[in-house]
């Protein structure tokens, strides 16, 4: 039986209090259910994972399709760009959405996603922002009865299809430093791995390095749209990617990606893919090899 929509609009304070209470429970449960570290075999040689770095202009949105999961990381600013993209792929629901941090160029479009596409769970760093966008984001999570899970570095999920999702950051997020509160996640499928850095800057990168996580990844989604405040030399060496994806808008006023970052990547001999120049970028892998395609042409 369909439930009636509540008539009284919840205040931001009420929503936050309720969600944080639920999130504490979910965080405890997630830590208690962390699997042991062990090798996971890809379920089938015919299985593939697709990672779509969706061109949303100056913002982030990444759709991940595994053999058993539909995952979305961020959705750019408010609007139907991501909803339309997912509809074109016939995505009927999402098992997991990750809102990396409360800035509007990451969670704004998630409001539209929540309104149009069923979502089972949202992972969030659990830091508060006073914007109307953040209020609407939390309100919809509550109204749609979506599981709200605050995550911290060290949580790992292993799926039956062979994919492994690890949360590398944040450790102890500061509400005054929202970029460094970003969720950074690493997805592994067979021998191929992806590191999604959100807007994490050098302080967050240092914490990941100090924690001793295995950061090595085939593809790195550069932190903070290729800003010089991210992708430190030490972090880049630890990740040692074959390809780096920079998500930014054409002609953006921030000057992203910064020339210092591009010079660093060029010196390291790393192939760079940019949404401002190439449009949406898609990586497809069978767990041993991968192909990279992009909207304005194709390449590897």
Average pLDDT over residues 195-204: 92
Quote the pTM value.
0.85
What is the DSSP pairing of strand 70-73 with strand 297-299?
Answer: unpaired
Whether 160 has a pLDDT exceeding 50, the answer reads: yes
* Percentage of the residues of the chain whose pLDDT score is greater than 70: 83
* Percentage of the residues of the chain whose pLDDT score is greater than 90: 72
Average pLDDT over residues 160-173: 93
Report all structural domains of the chain as residue ranges with CATH numbers, in order of start: 46-295 (3.60.15.10)
Lowest mean pLDDT among 87-101, 171-185, 208-222: 171-185
Nearest CA to 108 among 58, 178, 168, 165? 58
Q: Which of 20-24, 256-260, 287-291 has the highest mean pLDDT?
A: 287-291
147 CB-contact burial (10 Å; exposed 0-12 / middle 13-18 / buried 19+): middle
d(C-alpha 244, C-alpha 117), whole Å: 29
Average pLDDT over residues 203-228: 93
Cβ–Cβ contacts within 10 Å for residue 23, how many? 21
Whether 156 has a pLDDT exceeding 60, the answer reads: yes
b or e along 109-120 (b: 16 or more beta carbons within 10 Å of the residue's beta carbon)?
bbbbbbeebebe
Higher pLDDT, 228 or 76: 76
d(C-alpha 78, C-alpha 112), whole Å: 7
Average pLDDT over residues 131-139: 95
Helix (H, G, I), strand (E, B) or coil at 271: strand
pLDDT band at residue 45 using 50, 70 and 90 as cut-offs: low
At 284, give phi and psi (nearest 5°). -120, 130
Q: Classify residue 256 by its DSSP letter.
A: P
Whether 30 has a pLDDT exceeding 50, the answer reads: no
Average pLDDT over residues 252-277: 94
């Amino acid at each position: 039986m369909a439930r009636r929509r509540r008539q009284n609009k919840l205040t931001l304070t009420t929503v936050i209090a309720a969600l944080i209470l639920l999130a504490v429970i979910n965080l405890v449960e997630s830590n208690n259910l962390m699997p042991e570290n062990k090798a996971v075999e890809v379920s089938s040689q015919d299985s593939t994972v697709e990672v779509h770095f969706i061109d949303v202009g100056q913002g982030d949105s990444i759709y991940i399709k595994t053999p058993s999961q539909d995952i979305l990381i961020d959705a750019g600013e408010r609007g139907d760009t991501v909803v339309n993209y997912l509809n074109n792929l016939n995505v009927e629901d999402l098992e997991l959405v990750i809102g990396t941090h409360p800035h509007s160029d990451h969670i704004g479009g998630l409001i539209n996603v929540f309104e149009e596409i069923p979502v089972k769970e949202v992972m969030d760093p659990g830091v508060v922002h006073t914007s109307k966008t953040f209020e609407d984001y939390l309100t919809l999570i509550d109204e749609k009865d979506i599981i709200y899970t605050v995550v911290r570095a060290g949580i790992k999920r292993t799926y039956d299809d062979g994919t492994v999702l690890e949360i590398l950051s944040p450790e102890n997020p500061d509400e005054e430093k929202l970029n460094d509160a970003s969720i950074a996640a690493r997805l592994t499928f067979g021998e191929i791995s992806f590191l999604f850095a959100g807007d994490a800057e050098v302080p967050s990168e240092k914490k990941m390095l100090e924690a001793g996580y295995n950061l090595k990844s085939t593809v790195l989604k550069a932190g903070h749209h290729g800003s010089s405040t991210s992708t430190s030399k030490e972090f880049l060496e630890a990740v040692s990617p074959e390809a780096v994806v920079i998500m930014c808008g054409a002609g953006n006023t921030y000057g992203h990606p910064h020339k210092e970052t591009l010079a660093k990547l060029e010196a390291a001999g790393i192939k760079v893919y940019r949404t401002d120049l190439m449009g949406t970028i898609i990586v497809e892998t069978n767990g041993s090899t991968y192909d990279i395609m992009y909207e304005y042409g194709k390449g590897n």
